[in-house]
Amino acid sequence: MRLGVTGASGFVGGAVCRAAVERGWEVRAFGRRPSVEPGHVGGAPYTSWDLLGDRSRLPEVDAVVHCAGSVTDWGAPSAIWAANVDGTRNAAAAFPEARFVHVSTASVYDPFLPTVMATEDRAPARGYVNAYGASKAAAEGVLDRAVVLRPHAIYGRGDTTLLPRVLGAVRGRRLLAVGDGRQRISLTSVDNLVQACLLAAAGPVERGVFNVTDAEPVVLDDALRAILRERGIDAEPYYLPLALVEPLAVVAESAFRLLGRARPPRLTRYAVGHLAVERTLDITAARDRLGYRPAATSFAGAADW
């Protein structure tokens, strides 16, 4: 199997490269950074490639796992849109004969309502709170021949988003969270996502949309306590009502935009709504059609992430 991986310099792309190399696949890694440590991509040849710029002659591959794109919920909408929509279109066009696996997101589901064991036909939504969800939904729409994977809240070794955000909410002996702690959530370990990527790259289906999460949803409070325990942090989750926090997030976003801040505020509507209500996905299609066999949610070893 000859596999190309875009976004290989990132969290998920690097993990896909390493796992594919371990399987003995011939891997070509592509990323926007000028270079990466060879170990990050499993020693695969790495090519710096901006999907919005010119491309040199690319090697022939049997399949592409497209992990590149903007993952921020804060920033210029035009830049996020370009990275996620134009970048996806350009990546697919660059490999017209290859099987194309697109790593999307569960943020394509309706952000204004709880997501309760959502099936794949529940997206796109009528509206989104930011350019990230809207652009990822639009990116799915530009593909006419692809396997689309929708993970939710990816975590694991090398995580640059979920774990840092959780740890950043610790104040003294409190971990500030929103909701009541009893809401169920589907999480996706990077190992489970990598398994789905490689299954999709090798077959047995050539197109389709699949939710990709851990084996079963977990209760938010249980997940937060497990993270604190594994990290050795002496703190307890402390829950604030959504009705109180959401207006504060709107104010914070408005103030940061007026000030022209490049960094996001600690409170954004996207971050608040992400785990404040139930966010669970039905993964029956991935199990039945991809042969996906995910492990349960686990934060074992999180002290070293």
Q: How confident is the model at residue 248 (pLDDT cuts 50, 70, 90)?
A: confident
Q: What is the CA radius of gyration of the chain?
A: 19
Catalogue all structural domains in the chain, each as residue range(s) with its CATH number. Answer: 2-299 (3.40.50.720)
pLDDT at 15 over 80: yes
* Predicted local distance difference test score (pLDDT) of residue 274: 78
Q: How far apart are CA 21 and CA 189, in angstroms?
A: 19
> Do 186 and 152 meet the contact criterion of CB atoms below 8 Å apart?
yes
52-83: per-residue pLDDT in tens? Answer: 987 778 899 999 999 999 988 777 889 999 99
Cis before 38? omega within 30: no
What are the E-state strand segments in 41-155?
Answer: 46-48, 63-66, 99-103, 115-118, 147-151, 154-155
pLDDT at 247 over 90: no
* Predicted local distance difference test score (pLDDT) of residue 303: 86
Q: How many residues does the chain have?
A: 305
Q: How far apart are CA 200 and CA 196, in angstroms?
A: 6
pLDDT at 239 over 90: yes
Closest CA to 274 of 186, 191, 212: 186
76-119: per-residue pLDDT in tens? Answer: 889 999 999 999 999 999 999 999 999 999 999 999 999 999 99
Task: State whether residue 257 is helix, strand or coil.
Answer: helix
Backbone φ and ψ for 166, nearest 5 degrees, come out as -65, -50
* Predicted local distance difference test score (pLDDT) of residue 12: 98
pLDDT at 246 over 80: yes
What are the E-state strand segments in 11-153?
Answer: 26-31, 46-48, 63-66, 99-103, 115-118, 147-151
Q: How far apart are CA 18 and CA 24, in angstroms?
A: 10
* Predicted local distance difference test score (pLDDT) of residue 266: 73
* Predicted local distance difference test score (pLDDT) of residue 141: 96
- CB neighbour list of residue 302: distance below 8 Å, 6 or more residues apart: 163, 227, 230, 231
147-195: per-residue pLDDT in tens? Answer: 999 999 999 999 988 888 889 889 999 999 999 999 999 999 999 999 9
* Predicted local distance difference test score (pLDDT) of residue 106: 97
206-233: per-residue pLDDT in tens? Answer: 999 999 999 999 999 999 999 999 999 9
Q: How confident is the model at residue 37 (pLDDT cuts 50, 70, 90)?
A: very high
Please give the order of strands across the beta sheet that includes 147-151.
46-48, 26-31, 2-6, 63-66, 99-103, 147-151, 208-212
- CB neighbour list of residue 70: distance below 8 Å, 6 or more residues apart: 79, 80, 83, 84, 132, 135
